[in-house]
Amino acid sequence: MPEPDILVSEVGPRDGLQNIDAVLPTEAKKRWIQLEAEAGVTEIEVGSFVPAKYMPQLADTLELVSFARAIKGLSVAVLVPNFYGAKAAVEAQADKMSIPFSVSETHCQRNLNRSHDQMFAEIDQIVDMLSLLPKEKRPHFEVGLSTAFGCSLEGKIADEKIAEIAEKVIAAGCDEVGLSDTTGSANPAQVRHLIKLVRSVVGNDKLTGVHLHNTRGLGLANALAALEEGITTLDSSLGGLGGCPAAPGASGNIVTEDLVFMLESMGLNTGIDIHKLLSVRQTLSETIAGESLFGFTAEAGLPKGY
């Protein structure tokens, strides 16, 4: 199998499930993860190390990490809200962990109960912990710049602020920053602009992924703009589940099925079998009956001869 051109990183089991009321049984999540890996998805964010009292839907993250680690070729990602979460991720031996650093301080307070200064301190503490570990035990540590394209509480955040945070966390020793459109406010011109801006301060190799939501229907247009700027990792969610409980009005991620259809139709290799992926969606829809799934490809079917 040739190396994929684009890494499609499935975030549904985390971003998706934190936003639905139902708590999906652990066995159903395992099945979802297993089937998506079998469809060729090579990175899955399986959960978040947040205290179960805040997010009971994700209370089984530890078990899911250990399950997913046993799947050959799968990179297991988790979200961590703070140092304790990062410690749990290291102990669980996740391959990748990302901490959401909201560039909007109001959202940062509301989401993680931390000021920006406290976030920098938290990140220093995490980097110190990682530096004591042998290299093979260190998960890839990414800082996701949340609300980078606009915040539903504060509005648009100044470029200078975003660049300053990106520069500081990379200087602190994080492996990478990502740009997250938490509230689905981005447009393609802004996507291009922010990628260029952040890369100009941290370097191209320190920003390779974006996390987009489809709240206003611009998700795939934004993904295309990011690709054209040389981004190689795109987060998406099966059936477009997702949102952010602390950001009013935030809704689903870009839809994995539609994203894979777009990329593969353009001749880009994702390593994912779309037929299998569509059948995973079918299984998921039966499991979370009552929740709406989004996406056009599944509704319309694949074009004749595809």
Binding mask 144-173 for Zn ion (x = CB under 5 A): ------------------------------
Choices 10-18, 27-35, 95-103, 153-161 (CB under 5 A): range interacting with Zn ion = 10-18
Smaller CB distance to Zn ion: residue 15 or 175?
15
Smaller CB distance to Zn ion: residue 179 or 201?
179
> Smallest distance, Å, CB 119 to Zn ion?
18
> Smallest distance, Å, CB 132 to Zn ion?
31
Catalytic residue from among 108, 151, 174, 244: 244
Q: Could you tell me which residues come within 8 angstroms of residue 215 by beta carbon, excluding any fewer than 6 positions away?
A: 183, 184, 185, 249, 250, 251, 252
Choices 8-16, 58-66, 124-132, 189-197 (CB under 5 A): range interacting with Zn ion = 8-16
Q: What are phi and psi of 98, to 5 degrees?
A: -130, 145
What is the number of alpha carbons within 13 Å of residue 233 lying toward its C-beta?
Answer: 23
Choices 7-15, 46-54, 118-126, 294-302 (CB under 5 A): range interacting with Zn ion = 7-15
* Terminal Cα distance for the chain, rounded: 20
The first and second tokens of residue 55, run together, are 């997010």
Choices 13-21, 55-63, 88-96, 296-304 (CB under 5 A): range interacting with Zn ion = 13-21
Q: How many residues bind Zn ion (CB under 5 A)?
A: 1
Helices (H) and strands (E) in the chain — how many of each?
Answer: 11, 8
Per CB under 5 A, does 15 bind Zn ion?
Answer: yes
Question: Taking each helix axis from N to C terminus, what angle separates 61-69 and 26-38, rounded to the nearest 10 degrees?
Answer: 30
Q: Measured between alpha carbons, how far is 13 from 241 in angstroms, rounded to an integer?
A: 9
Q: Measured between alpha carbons, how far is 86 from 299 in angstroms, rounded to an integer?
A: 39
By beta carbon distance, the residue nearest Zn ion is 15
Choices 9-17, 75-83, 132-140, 291-299 (CB under 5 A): range interacting with Zn ion = 9-17
Smaller CB distance to Zn ion: residue 216 or 276?
216
Binding mask 195-214 for Zn ion (x = CB under 5 A): --------------------
> Smallest distance, Å, CB 101 to Zn ion?
13
Beta-strand relationship, 209-211 and 7-10: unpaired
The first and second tokens of residue 178, run together, are 């990502």
> Smallest distance, Å, CB 56 to Zn ion?
19
Smaller CB distance to Zn ion: residue 15 or 257?
15
Q: Which long-range contacts (CB under 8 A, 24 or more apart) does 296-301 make?
A: 296/255, 296/258, 297/255, 297/257, 297/258, 297/261, 298/239, 298/257
- Applying the rule CB under 5 A, the residues between 79 and 118 that interact with Zn ion are none
Smaller CB distance to Zn ion: residue 42 or 146?
146
Cα 109 to chain centroid distance, Å, stands at 20
- Is residue 257 within a helix (H) or strand (E), and if so which, with residue range? helix 256-265
> Smallest distance, Å, CB 42 to Zn ion?
20
Q: What are phi and psi of 88, to 5 degrees?
A: -65, -40
Per CB under 5 A, does 181 bind Zn ion?
Answer: no
Active site residue 174: no
> Smallest distance, Å, CB 246 to Zn ion?
11
- Is residue 47 within a helix (H) or strand (E), and if so which, with residue range? strand 43-48
Residues contributing to the site for Zn ion (CB under 5 A) = 15
Catalytic residues: 244
